[in-house]
Amino acid sequence: MGDRLKDKIAIIVGAGQSPGPTPAIGNGRATAILFAREGAKVLAVDRHLDAAQATVDLILEEGGEAAAHAADVTIESDMEGMVTACTDRWGRVDVLHNNVGISVEGGDAPVTEITTEAFDKIINVNLRSMVYACKYALPIMRKQQSGAIINISSMAAISSYPWVGYKATKTAMVELTRQIAFQNAEYGIRANVILPGKMDTPMAVDRRADAFNRPREEIAAERDATVPLRGKMGTGWDVAHAALFLASDEAGFITGVILPVDGGASTRVG
Helix (H) or strand (E) holding 175: helix 164-184
Query: What is the rounded CA–CA span in Å between residue 183 and residue 165?
Result: 27
Task: Map residue 82 onto helix, strand or coil.
Answer: helix
Q: Is 159 exposed, middle or buried (0-12, 13-18, 19+ CB in 10 A)?
A: middle
> What are the Cα distances from residue 269, in Å, to 118, 255, 264?
33, 27, 11
Q: Are strands 65-70 and 95-98 parallel, antiparallel or unpaired?
A: unpaired
Bridge partners for 193 per DSSP: 151, 258
Pick the catalytic residue from 132, 136, 161, 166: 166
Is 136 in the active site?
no
Q: How far is CA 119 from each of CA 15, 44, 153, 171, rounded to the nearest angstrom?
A: 24, 27, 17, 14
Q: Which residues are catalytic?
A: 166
